Structure 1
Amino acid sequence: MEEIMQTPIRVTVWGENVHEDREASVREIYPDTMHETIAAGIREHLGEQTEVRTAWLQQPEHGLTEEVLAETDVLTWWGHAAHDEVSDEVVARVHQAVLSGMGLLVLHSGHFSKIFIRLMGTTCSLDWRSADDQELIWTVAPGHPIAEGVPHPLVIEREEMYGEHFDVPQPDELVFISSFGGGEVFRSGCAYRRGRGRVFYFRPGDQDFPTYHQPGVKRIISNAVRWLAPGELREAPNVHHRPMAGWFNSP
């Protein structure tokens, strides 16, 4: 039988790169930056199934030029302190790429990013507490590809708390929920479809904790990359103009 060659998933890992630049405590946890750590986790789990590059806020056009996005199947997004510094032009470019079929993985405080708010159409606000909180991530859709091989629950010993109400649309698929020491719960793994693209929001990843070094978190991110990858050629949805009624009966 002839072997079928699989085309690698082209992944761009985008990071704000502000905390790493300004805070020694964050550099101690992520000496290679958060985005490089996330990229390394994807390479570790998916290997030759992916081609992974990184981009960050301070680059020209934030590293997300038309050429880069055209060569990106899945974009991951981590931002926190500089959402307002992201160019509206770049946001519009990413938005169009998602509608055309590119997958988008939004991480932690990326819930307040311009692109996520635009895709959700809501405030994306939530409750939070910055403390050493234990987070239990519970799988509520065990048959979903993003949940494959993930412990139930996945225990994160130290994290920031996010709690409901999370002002996002009802997810098309809810894969994970989180619980915290204060009794709070949160929809921490939310899957959406926008146009021809898929979007997944995954909650953990505060810059003050080594969350992206944790094997279970790396597993979820890698699973999400595979699920988000477009299954067909990317193309913007078309709007058709019909010149006459009954066109479908014409010879």
Structure 2
Amino acid sequence: MNIVVWNEFRHEKENPVVSDIYPEGIHGALASFLEEDGHHVTTATLDEEEHGLTDEVLNKTDVMVWWGHKAHEEVSEEIAEKVKQRVLDGMGLVVLHSGHFSKVFKKLMGTSCDLKWREADEKERMWVVDPTHPITEGLGEYIEIEKEEMYGEHFDIPTPDELLLISWFEGGEVFRSGATFKRGRGNIFYFRPGHETYPTYYHKDVQKVIQNGVKWVYNNGTPKHVYGNAQPLEAITSK
């Protein structure tokens, strides 16, 4: 499987707290544990030419993992449209944390994707509400994260095809933290945790969900339908 981990890579350059937690960038941390599953993993970042997402890169990508936060508007419309089209054509997409507000995710959802949020070092308990799903395989009843940013309902997304994880936060809010969608031939998985000032992506259960999510969104050669004017399959008898 060819995986591209995309990260805007801004916080790590500007905030020493983030760079201390993720010295190789958030994309480097994500790529590291995805490579453990034997995948071919490359990374791309916002400030690269074409955001690192040239036609050549996109055309050979099976799954893209997307993390963004403070620079969503700097992603060009052209590149966002190309990524969206690749998803419709069958590329898998895993959207992490504040990637909910990315141009790519909003284009695919067709809604504002807005939510409540708060940074207060709160405990998060993420409950598995579909223990039979491949993405939650290997987990217990819940994932507990000592400190995370709160995301709260209402989360302005379409009703998910499948709801897998629901978070409770110490301040009282809840949030749909793991949800799947299908758009065209592409599978999409949104997974909430991963604020940049916390070491969330070193949490083994969080890593497990992302590893499982990458496998689930991968489109392993599903049929491509033909559209337009069609010849009859059987002889048509005119009356």
Fold equivalence (TM over 0.5): yes
Paired residues of 1:101 and 1:234 also in contact (CA < 8 A): no
Per-residue deviation, 1:221: 0.4
CA distance in 1, matches of 2:56, 2:133: 32
Confirm or deny that 1:143 pairs with 2:135.
no
Shift of 1:247: 7.6
Deviations 1:12-61 (A, max 9, x none): 000010101111111011011000101112123x1x2x111111101100
Counterpart residue number, 2:185: 196
Q: Does 1:101 align with 2:87?
A: no
Q: 1 CA distance for matches of 2:57 and 2:230?
A: 35
Matches of 2:235 and 2:174 in 1, distance apart?
Answer: 55
From 97, 114, 121, give the equivalent of 1:125: 114
Structure 2 counterpart of 1:42, one-letter code:
L
Which segments of structure 1 move beyond 4 Å, counting only runs of 4 or more?
Answer: none
Which residue type is aligned with residue 105 of structure 2? F
Structure 1 residues not aligned, in runs of 5+: 1-8
- Kindly indicate whether residue 163 of structure 2 is the aligned counterpart of residue 159 of structure 1: no
1:249 equivalent to 2:238? Answer no
SS in 1 for 2:207: helix
Q: Deviations over 1:138-177 (max 9, x none)?
A: 1011010000112321110000000100000000000111
Name the structure 1 match of 2:9. Answer: 17
Query: Which of 210, 223, 227 is 2:216 aligned to?
Result: 227
Amino acid across the alignment from 1:72? T
Using the size of structure 1 for normalisation, the TM-score is 0.91
- Displacement of 1:96 in angstroms is 0.7
Q: How many corresponding residue pairs? A: 237
Q: 1:204 & 1:157 partners in 2: Cα distance? A: 12
Structure 1 vs Structure 2: percent identity of aligned residues?
50
Task: Report the TM-score, using the length of structure 2 for normalisation.
Answer: 0.95
Name the structure 2 match of 1:4: none
Which AA in structure 1 matches 2:172?
G
Inter-partner Cα distance in structure 2 for 1:175 and 1:25: 31
Alignment partners' CA distance in 1, 2:233 and 2:199: 60
- Provide the residue aligned with 2:19 in structure 1: 27
Q: Let me know the Cα RMSD of the aligned residues.
A: 1.6
**Whole-angstrom distance in 1 between the partners of 2:220 and 2:208:** 21
